[in-house]
Amino acid sequence: MPDTLSRYQALVDSGEISFDPAQAAVARRLSSLNESLASYRLARRKSSALAWLFSRGQKQEPVRGLYIWGDVGRGKTMLMDLFMATSPVRRKRRAHFHEFMADVHERIHAYRQKLKAGEVKGDDPIAPVAADLAEEAWLLCFDEFSVTDIADAMILGRLFGKLFEEGVVVVATSNVVPDLLYRDGLNRALFLPFIALMQQRMEVVKLESRTDFRMEKLSGQPVWLTPLGPQSDAAMDTAWSRLAGGAEGTPATLQVKGRSVAVPLQAHGTARFSFADLCEKPLGASDYLAIAHAFHTVLIDRIPVMKGLEKRNEAKRFINLIDALYDNQVKLVASAGDEPTRLYLSETGTEEFEFHRTASRLIEMRSDEYLSLPHARRSQPSADTGGIVET
């Protein structure tokens, strides 16, 4: 299997991305990590004769993960894509950090319910939860590592301490250096040992790319294409090629509260849907939140003008969709039947009133100020997702 650096160079050679020395340096470190993981995996296999040789008379040193941080749009998601594609580890998991922590809290709650029912013993759920997580995946990869919730902050030190004891290796991307995590948070002093633990078990690397590649691809380009027709369809194809770095993209699914949400096309943190995919199917707010958390840029093809009460369901879903994208500062490129203020035509129903806010948000989402914002979550419930699964 080609290593991460080779995959990166192949993208450069094909013209899908421009060469950036800072990105290449991080790709080289990810390749080195994959080499260490290959040996570490072999030593972990207790049934292997070679594992016996590894462990005989010496204890294997744990593999240090990577914490990659840098400004928005520098290529962190793309590099994580390449790392995951080239990783030799079979039991691996990639998730946005907030989704991972939502899963952890749900597991803790389930353990406490079993404790009340007398099905398990022990007062502290952290150790068994960490053991279960480590059994499922011993390589954990987190996109957009950030800590804003005190409930997360108060358990992270113990949780990751147990995960590291189980031999788990962690790779994460973030917009902030570890020392600034949970900055000004309540009881932050109790959080500081976790930062020290991360710095001990993860190599901290700053991705100092020369430019905001994402903004470079969007700035000066039309992101609201109207009217509908062959010209706007072609423009959407061009936008996809530019944003996906020339990659064709692959289908994927998002797991949301036990359901599967289909993603027709995705690559490098960008996803492409039709209006019918998103608003003519029975999707809800949690589904749209999962999409907003998983992708920094979303393309929507062929948004029609919605007329009358017979289109109120589609209009309501579209309102919820735009709310999720806007609140998480997701970048939107769309083709539509008309300008935002003329997309929903009805004189009755609450959707007509609510659509005024949606139209205002759509107009703001076209501005350079909005397009320059980092992909971020605000104080709202996280969708219970298990990450992106390519299909």
Lowest mean pLDDT across 72-81, 138-147, 180-189, 204-213: 204-213
Are residues 169 and 226 located together in one domain of the fold? no
Query: What is the pLDDT, as a whole number, of residue 1?
Result: 55
Last residue of a domain, one of 162, 184, 209: 209
Q: Residue 30 is part of which domain span? A: 4-209
Sign for the pseudo-dihedral over CA of 137, 141, 143, 149: positive
Nearest 10 degrees: Cα torsion 44, 50, 53, 54 = -40
**Which carries the bigger pLDDT value, residue 246 or residue 358?**
358
Q: Is 359:340 a contact under the CB 8 Å cutoff?
A: yes
Residue whose structure tokens are 């900055």:
183
Short-list 323, 317, 364, CA closest to 340: 364
Please check the confidence at residue 49 and state whether its pLDDT lies above 60: no
Q: Determine contact, residues 88/13, Cβ cutoff 8 Å.
A: no
Given a contact cutoff of 8 angstroms between Cβ atoms, the answer to whether 84 and 9 are in contact is: no
Category of 246 on φ-ψ map: left (φ > 0), alpha (ψ -120 to 50) or beta: left
Q: Please state whether beta strands 306-307 and 344-345 pair in parallel, antiparallel, or not at all (unpaired).
A: parallel
Give the pLDDT band (50/70/90) at residue 382: very low
Q: Which residue type is seen at 58?
A: Q
What gap in Å lies between CA 276 and CA 213, rounded to an integer? 30
- Residue 239: give its domain's CATH number: 3.40.50
Question: Per mean pLDDT, which range of 38-47, 133-142, 219-228 is the poorest?
Answer: 38-47
> What is residue 192's DSSP assignment?
H
Write the DSSP symbol of residue 306: E
Same domain, 222 and 146: no
Picking from 60, 80, 61, 62, the residue whose alpha carbon sits closest to that of residue 70 is: 80
Q: 9 with 153, same domain?
A: yes
Q: Is the pLDDT of residue 220 over 70?
A: no
How far is the C-alpha of 294 from the C-alpha of 266, rounded, in Å?
Answer: 10
Choose between 291 and 2: higher pLDDT. 291
Domain count, the chain: 2
Largest Cα span, the chain: 80
Q: How far apart are CA 26 and CA 24, in angstroms?
A: 5
Does 319 reside within a domain?
yes
Residues 196 and 135 in one domain: yes
Which amino acid makes up residue 230?
A: P
Query: Would you say 267 and 249 are in contact if contact means Cβ atoms under 8 Å apart?
Result: yes
Rg, Å, the chain Cα set: 22
Domain final position from 155, 180, 209: 209
Q: In this structure, are 193 and 301 located in the same domain?
A: no
Instruction: With CA atoms as reference, report the closest residue to 385 among 138, 102, 93, 133.
Output: 102
Q: Is the pLDDT of residue 66 over 90?
A: yes
* Confidence band of 216 (pLDDT split at 50, 70, 90): low
Query: What mean pLDDT is reported for the chain?
Result: 85
271 and 203 in a common domain: no
The predicted model scores a pTM of: 0.63
Separation CA 106–CA 99 (nearest Å): 11
State the Cα–Cα distance between residues 217 and 245, nearest whole angstrom: 9
35 and 182 share a domain? yes
- Identify the band that residue 208 occupies on the pLDDT scale cut at 50, 70 and 90: confident
> Is 273 in the same domain as 164?
no
If asked whether residues 158 and 223 sit together in one domain, one would say: no
Q: How far apart are CA 122 and CA 223, in angstroms?
A: 55
Backbone angles phi, psi at 42, to 5 degrees: -65, -40
Could you read off the pLDDT of 14-47 as tens digits, one per residue? 877 778 899 999 999 999 999 999 887 665 554 3
Q: Provide mean pLDDT across the span 85-102.
A: 88
Q: What percent of the chain has pLDDT over 70?
A: 86
Q: Is 313 inside any structural domain?
A: yes
Q: Containing H/E element for 243?
A: helix 230-243
Residue 380: predicted pLDDT? 34
